[in-house]
Structure formats: C-alpha cells, structure tokens
Amino acid sequence: MQDQQRRDFLKKGSFFGASMIAASAMSLVPGSANASGKKENENSRKQTRTLGSGSHAIEVAYGMGLGCMGMSWNRSFVPDRKAMIGVIRKAYEMGVNLFDTAEAYGPYVNEELVGEAIKPFRKNITLCSKFGFEIRDNKLTGAFNSKPKHIREVVEQSLKRLQTDHIDLLYQHRVDPAVPIEDVAGTVKDLIREGKVKHFGLSEAGSENIRKAHAIQPLTAIQTELSLLSREPLTEIFPVCEELGIGFVPYSPLSRAYLTGYINERTTYVPGNDNRITLPRYQRDAVIANWKIIDVLTTFGNQRGLTAAQIALAWLMAQKPWVVPIPGTTKLAHLQENLWSTDVAFSAEEWKQFNDQIAAVTIVGARYPTPQTK
C-alpha cells in the first residue's frame, strides 16, 4: 500500500474512532433530535463506511451489510423463497448496498436466490461471494479446494447463478493448506484483470497469510467471526488490518442469534440444516453459562431503549471505523432493528463500563470444534 494511502486510512480511522466514542448513545437513538435540535431523517442516518483503501476501497451504506446465508441454509428453518426475495429487495429500498453469499451456502441455492433478488438493482450494490470448498453431488465434502483451476471454475458458475458478469468482492472462504496463498491471490488478481472480480477478500485467514496475499493482490476485507462471544480478532487480526488498510467484516456478529437473547437451553436445531448442532458454544451448558453476557446486554439496552442485538452490533461498530458487520436475518423487523444500531454510539464512560462488565464474564465453549483461522 502506498504511504499516502496508509496515512489517509489511519487518519480517517482515528477521527471516526474518537467521534464514535464521544457521542452519547441517547442522543443518537433513531428519530431523536441531534445536538443542534434538528430531527434526523432516513437519509442522514445512512452514513457510510469504507472497506479497504485506495483503489481497493468499497463504500458500504450504513456501514452494515446483509448476510443472506440463513435465507436458505444452516439456520434450521428455510423460509419461503419469494418472501426472502422480498426481504432482499426491501433491504435495498431501505438503503442497504452490500449483500453477502457464497457458493457453499446450500450449496448453490443461496447464490441463486441472491442473484434473482438483486437483478433489478445489480449495478448499484456490492455483491460478495466466496469460493474454497470441495462440493460433490451437491454436498460439501468437508475438504477445501482453492486450486487455481477450481477457483476459476467456481467463479464462472457463481457468475451464472448470480446472473451477473462480475463479483464485487470475492473471498477465499477458508485458507487451503494445500495451495500456497500466493497462488490463490495470483488467481484472483488475474480474475480482477479480466473484469470478472472487482475486489479480493479472505475469510478466517491468519495474519501471516493476510500479509502474503496482500503483497500479491491488495485485500479489501477480511471476513472472520467476531462478536462479543468471539473477540480474538481484535488482538490477533485488527493490528494487521490497520497497518495494511484492510477492512474487517465480522460474520455471525450476533453469534448466530445467541446475542439477541432468542436462544436458550430449550432451543432445538434442525439436523442437517444448522451448524449450531455441532458447535460447542450452542450446547446446553455453554448456552446457560454464557447467559451472563445477555444479562449485561439487556440491562445496558433497557436503560437506553435499545435491544440486546442493537448493543451487540453497536459494540462491534465502535471498535474501528473500518468494521462492517453483516448480520443475517429473514425478517424485515429484525433488519430494521439491526440497521438502527448503526446510529448507536457509546460515551467514553459507557464504553468503559460496558467493556468492564463483558471482560468479567468467562466465555464457555469453543466457537468451532476445530480451529478455523489459518
């Protein structure tokens, strides 16, 4: 990255970071009067955030995207397809301009759904997808595959399913230990040159792989799990993102619904269509032990007219100005609630109080049965 670009990125970072903490949460509750007494309207709430820097930057409305995976896969119920097309189109009408999917979601069906839904406004949005898993007979085998030839084949197929001629932000879904990351970055670089891809991202990549990939093809974003229950990237990945001017997209920012308070020890999941069955943190003992976090969120939110989900998302966005969460939802009411969280900020006192309370809770249960970040 050029020196000047890095300086601009850092300057912007410290400005937004400071303003985020300085503003009072109460004054930013949706629809309320701001400090000058002027009532905020829908448009003034649509602030943007920037992922990446220089020619690799992407502007994201609200600083929040929509995760589409759960509309067809892995979150137990599969809602009516037409209804989900309606949710995506309404999200666009509300100003959302970043939509996240992947070849693996379904597999395939989620890309097909998103492709159909975004068709009327394709040119106006940032379309994100991912490659990197082996799929046979319409099923994920559990193996990785980031061989250059395979990446190219996946992109061709994804473009068809997404009904478009380019993917705005293409991620490697998981680092494939069998393929040097430089070869992956080189392949995506070629795809960018050919116009089939616009920007490059990695999911669950460690700092060494981020550096190696970025040296070949500058990265726009790292997409990795980050939430109040999974805070490791704050110390392990954020420093390298800040140094290189790469944005961060927290996936499962509501910890797969746990942080909304909608999950408890009686919650059951549909076998074969919900990975929470296999994740240690969603087992009975962990669900009960971690409830202390929900207590902190609801107590904090209740005093401010905000929900647990809104506090959980606002906490993420207050970390850095280049953090763009992609909460997933199948409900317009939840989408609206999540978007309103982009107005919420912490005062310095609130920030300390909240983080002290969170730090006092020991999180029980690993996030996955095996390490994901490589």
Ligand X SMILES: NC(=O)c1ccc[n+]([C@@H]2O[C@H](COP(=O)([O-])OP(=O)(O)OC[C@H]3O[C@@H](n4cnc5c(N)ncnc54)[C@H](OP(=O)(O)O)[C@@H]3O)[C@@H](O)[C@H]2O)c1
Which residues are designated catalytic?
Answer: 105
Q: Which of 30, 253, 301, 321 binds ligand X (CB under 6 A)?
A: 253
Compute how many residues bind ligand X; rule: CB under 6 A. Answer: 28
Cite the beta strand spans of the chain per DSSP E.
48-51, 58-61, 66-67, 98-100, 126-131, 133-136, 139-144, 167-172, 197-203, 221-225, 247-251
Q: Which of 58, 309, 339, 363 binds ligand X (CB under 6 A)?
A: 309
Per-residue interface string for the shown chain with ligand X, residues 87-126, x marking contact by CB under 6 A:
-------------x--------------------------
User: Does a cis peptide bond (omega within 30 degrees of 0) precede residue 369?
Assistant: no
Stretch that binds ligand X, among 116-124, 159-167, 291-299, 322-330 (CB under 6 A): 322-330
Instruction: Check if the beta carbon of residue 129 is closer than 8 Å to that of residue 171.
Output: yes
Stretch that binds ligand X, among 61-69, 119-127, 188-196, 266-274 (CB under 6 A): 61-69
Q: Angle at CA 10, nearest 5°, toward 9 and 12?
A: 65
Indicate the residue among 9 and 179 with the shorter CB distance to ligand X.
179
Indicate the residue among 1 and 140 with the shorter CB distance to ligand X.
140
DSSP conformational letter for 1:
-
Q: Which of 326, 339, 345, 358 binds ligand X (CB under 6 A)?
A: 326
Q: Which of 49, 150, 196, 256 binds ligand X (CB under 6 A)?
A: 256
Stretch that binds ligand X, among 69-77, 140-148, 206-214, 234-242 (CB under 6 A): 69-77
Q: φ and ψ at 165, to 5 degrees?
A: -105, 0
Task: Count H helices and E strands in the chain, helices first.
Answer: 14, 11
Q: Quote the least distance from Cβ 173 to ligand X, whole Å.
A: 6
Q: Quote the least distance from Cβ 3 to ligand X, whole Å.
A: 31
Q: Phi-psi bin for 263: left (phi > 0), alpha (psi -120 to 50), beta? A: beta
If 0-12 CB within 10 Å is exposed, 13-18 middle and 19+ buried, where does residue 55 land? exposed
Sign of CA pseudo-dihedral 207, 210, 214, 219: negative
Q: What is the DSSP string of 334-365?
A: HHHHHHHGGG----HHHHHHHHHHHHTSPPPS
Q: Which of 51, 334, 344, 367 binds ligand X (CB under 6 A)?
A: 334
Per-residue interface string for the shown chain with ligand X, residues 220-239, x marking contact by CB under 6 A:
---x----------------
User: Contact between 331 and ligand X (CB under 6 A)?
Assistant: yes
User: Contact between 257 and ligand X (CB under 6 A)?
Assistant: yes
The amino acid at residue 131 is F
Structure tokens at 4: 């000047």
Determine the Cα–Cα distance for residues 152 and 131; give it in Å rounded to an integer: 9
| Closest alpha carbon to 56 in 1, 14, 127, 98 | 1
Per-residue interface string for the shown chain with ligand X, residues 146-185, x marking contact by CB under 6 A:
---------------------------x------------
Indicate the residue among 72 and 164 with the shorter CB distance to ligand X.
72
Determine the Cα–Cα distance for residues 179 and 173; give it in Å rounded to an integer: 13
User: Contact between 330 and ligand X (CB under 6 A)?
Assistant: yes
Q: Quote the least distance from Cβ 321 to ligand X, whole Å.
A: 20
Q: Quote the least distance from Cβ 272 to ligand X, whole Å.
A: 16
User: Contact between 53 and ligand X (CB under 6 A)?
Assistant: no
Q: Quote the least distance from Cβ 85 to ligand X, whole Å.
A: 15
Q: Quote the least distance from Cβ 70 to ligand X, whole Å.
A: 4
**Alpha helix positions (H), 65-224:** 81-93, 109-118, 148-161, 181-193, 207-216
Q: Quote the least distance from Cβ 62 to ligand X, whole Å.
A: 14
- Alpha-carbon Rg for the chain, nearest whole angstrom, is 20
Binding residues for ligand X, rule: CB under 6 A, are 67-70, 75, 100, 173, 203, 223, 251-257, 260, 262, 309, 326-331, 334, 337-338
